[in-house]
Structure 1
């Protein structure tokens, strides 16, 4: 079996890291797998990058311009939404033609357009789409937060200036996705039970197959070890309690930095000796 994993980036972002780990796991288990990306960042031979040129840059910029315009020429939420109006047709590439299964991951910001995905579905190859956020099941947003419009039909998008309108950008993209998903079967996969629950409430996923499969982890690398040796290796204090917090962008409230700060204040009050 030949599997083609598709993601915008090879290394940047959580989806890229998860897709790369899956690639290695498949190869280690006898599956012939390759990864197709827009942004290739290593010399890994099983990762293929799209040709970099001014057109690739323009596709990314054009999508932002359309979003910027719909948002009343304000930068607010400029990167919180995607409309997939531009991308690259990959169906003529040898990696696509040789693949038995197409595995989509995070394909936004100019990697694949909805029209490109339609061509992938029209090829007749089985398509699996692993969701790393809510974008496949909403109109344009990666996380709906308190908005539940996607459960019926997106409109009056809170990510658009003044709440958008009845037939705003989210509405039009939502309808395009609904038409797209009706053309051929797509097996959707989520990386958490929470995301599966959100996806199954979407009107776009009515009658669709959704399976929860946690991200692959290399247990030969990530495994319990002797705490004292681990702390000594990374030059960490042996007797102190440690808190680890990681995020690509801690200013995004969804990442929970506010909770971390509040928790630290509570700890300081209840355990001043720490």
Structure 2
């Protein structure tokens, strides 16, 4: 049984990390699985690419940039991810595709698989699994839906595109997808129950087979460490209550909900003596705009080493995320694996991982006040070790490489037999 995992990139984004982890998880079950990407950023020798030589790599990079430019010309200045697949490449004749028994698609946008190239893959007649890391496959182009429900109809009148009408570009691509999906079937995998529910409510794919299997995490790498030693390694205070948060570009970043975190910290400063509280942020790039915080804040910058990243999670007392729309965020899973509880809004796939007042705190959606209440709950918790242990145990039971790999192995076997 040969499985080919297909993704746009390696190491860049949540889908890439999820695909790479699944690829390794399957090997634990003696399944021959390979990961191939459209554009390869890293140097991992086992990750293959459709752009293997300098000329094809330059061509691929050009297509990525060209699609981004063409897409922006059709969109309003909204901070909502949206793809219009005008251009791409056909991969159905590639040796790795021909040799595979099952094709497993992940995130395939940005100059990679168009509707036509996807049709050529499906026409091969091989079993195809497609993991939905966002909403693109069942919408007219948006990756993040927020409160828009046009995907339940036929898209159109899109709040993101210019000249929005009932027959705008979102509806046109909805029709192209509808035409494709009426001809071919494939197995859908959603990492979260939230995403699975959205697919079942969609007008495009509500009659397709849907299975919810979470992304995997290497629990041997992301694991609890001695907090004092971890903080010493990072140069952090051993005595403070440390709150950790991820990538923070600006106050106006809609998807990450940074403004709600800032408001929650303002409330925290009013309600609690924060002289022994510190916010630590990782993922910020040099020169990136950083908002003013009402509590002491340290920036660790971009971290590209998973072992160091695990140390960062393990050093913290809690992890904070104000994401407004997320499938199954890796940061939440990584934090829990390291025994660090998570404070989050109750949104997306987060409730699949964060059990309220057991492995963290689920605040009311977009309520900065309740988010602040969650932080205070963690600060004042009488048994933090119990929270740490519960967070870790949840990951071992449901999200380990062994557990997730087995569920995928069973799925593949059922498709072949």
The whole-number CA distance in structure 1 between the counterparts of 2:9 and 2:248 is 14
- Cα-to-partner distance string for 1:197-232 (whole Å, 9 max, x where unaligned): 222211011211222211110011112232223222
Indicate conservation of the 8 Å contact 1:13/1:248, yes or no.
no
Aligned to 1:39: 39
Q: Secondary structure at the residue paired with 2:243?
A: coil
C-alpha displacement at 1:253, in angstroms? 1.7
The aligned counterpart of 2:225 is: 225
What is the distance in 1 between the residues matched to 2:224 and 2:70?
48
Moved more, 21-30 or 76-85: 76-85
SS, match of residue 262 in structure 2 = helix
- Greater displacement, 82-91 / 241-250: 241-250
- Judged with a 3 Å threshold, the aligned counterparts in structure 2 of structure 1 residues 130 and 78 are, in CA distance, closer, same or farther, namely same
Matches of 1:57 and 1:7 in 2, distance apart?
A: 15
Q: Structure 1 CA distance, aligned partners of 2:230 and 2:68?
A: 44
Q: How big is the shift at 1:249?
A: 5.0
1:105 and 1:131 in contact (8 A); partners too: yes
Which structure 1 residue ranges, 5 or more long, are not aligned?
none
Structure 2 CA distance for aligned equivalents of residues 113 and 78 of structure 1: 23
Query: Match for residue 256 of structure 2?
Result: 255
What does residue range 81-120 of structure 1 map to in structure 2 within 5 Å?
81-120=82-121
Tell me the SS of whatever aligns to 1:221. Answer: coil
Instruction: Summarize deviations over 1:68-102 as a string: whole Å, max 9, x none.
Output: 4434xx6x249721122321111111110111111
What's the counterpart of residue 206 of structure 2? 206
Report how far residue 56 of structure 1 moved: 2.4
Shift of 1:65: 4.6
Q: For 2:79 and 2:59, locate their aligned partners in 1 and report how far apart those are by CA, in whole Å.
A: 21
Structure 1 residues 78 and 255: CA distance shift in structure 2, 3 A: closer
Q: Structure 2 CA distance, aligned partners of 1:79 and 1:57? A: 22
Of 145-154 and 56-65, the range deviating more from structure 2: 56-65
| Offset at residue 57 of structure 1 (A) | 3.8
Which residue of the partner structure matches residue 187 of structure 2?
Answer: 187
Partner of residue 81, structure 2 = 80
Whether 1:160 aligns to 2:161 is yes
Change (3 A) 1:246 1:33: same
Contact 1:67 1:78 in 2 (8 A): no
* In structure 1, C-alpha distance between the alignment counterparts of 2:101 and 2:248, rounded to whole Å: 34
Residue 240, structure 1, aligned to residue 244, structure 2? no
Counterpart-to-counterpart distance in 1, 2:203 and 2:253: 27
Alignment of 1:105-184 (within 5 A): 105-162=106-163, 164-184=164-184
Distance in 1 between the 2:34 and 2:248 partners?
A: 26
Residue equivalent to 1:63: 67
Task: Kindly indicate whether the alpha-carbon contact (under 8 Å) linking 2:248 and 2:258 is maintained by their aligned counterparts in 1.
Answer: no
Q: Deviations over 1:219-258 (max 9, x none)?
A: 1111223222322232221111111111375553221212
The SS at the match of 2:255 is: helix
SS in 2 for 1:229: helix
CA RMSD of aligned residues (A): 2.0
C-alpha distance in 2 between matches for 1:178 and 1:60: 25
In structure 2, C-alpha distance between the alignment counterparts of 1:79 and 1:60, rounded to whole Å: 18
In structure 2, the CA distance between the partners of 1:111 and 1:3, relative to structure 1 (3 Å rule), is same
Asked if structure 1 preserves the Cα contact closer than 8 Å seen for 2:78 and 2:160, the reply is: yes
Counterpart-to-counterpart distance in 2, 1:11 and 1:265: 35
Offset of residue 60 of structure 1: 2.8
